[in-house]
Amino acid sequence: MHQFEKLKIWQKAMDIAVHVYEISALLPNDEKFNLIHQIKKCAVSIPSNIAEGSGRNSDKEFMHFLGIANGSTFELITQLILAKRLKLVNEDLIQPTINQLVEVSNMNFSFQRSLKDKINKTIGKS
């Protein structure tokens, strides 16, 4: 079991979630039950799945939840690009968040790889 609060990937994902909520407040009210809802849901899903996975019984289970978090990361990137393309929000406001999401995704892939290596070493010792 990992202490998720100490994981840099979780900390960065939480910062992104806060920023996405701030961006969402700038979107038009008629998007409240559509794009805004989806954007917030994905933003919360990323750190939530990292935290949930950290509390699971094995590194293999943790990897599964990291995979879900990564899926939410790419979903959120897509939704932010859509908001930008629809001119609902300024690109200067969105692009730094997208860049942070790419960074979190890269961290996630590296973390999954290290967990997989750890699992493989454990299996090799059996």
Q: Do the beta carbons of residue 69 and residue 56 sit within 8 Å?
A: no
pLDDT recorded at residue 67: 97
Q: What percentage of the chain reaches a pLDDT higher than 90?
A: 86
Q: What is the mean pLDDT of residues 87-109?
A: 96
Residue ranges and CATH numbers for the domains of the chain are: 7-125 (1.20.1440.60)
At 31, is the pLDDT very low, low, confident or very high (cuts 50, 70, 90)?
confident
Cα(89)–Cα(84) distance, rounded to whole angstroms? Answer: 6
Cα(38)–Cα(55) distance, rounded to whole angstroms? Answer: 25
- Predicted confidence (pLDDT) per residue in 43-55, tens digit: 999 999 999 999 9
Q: Do the beta carbons of residue 17 and residue 64 sit within 8 Å?
A: no
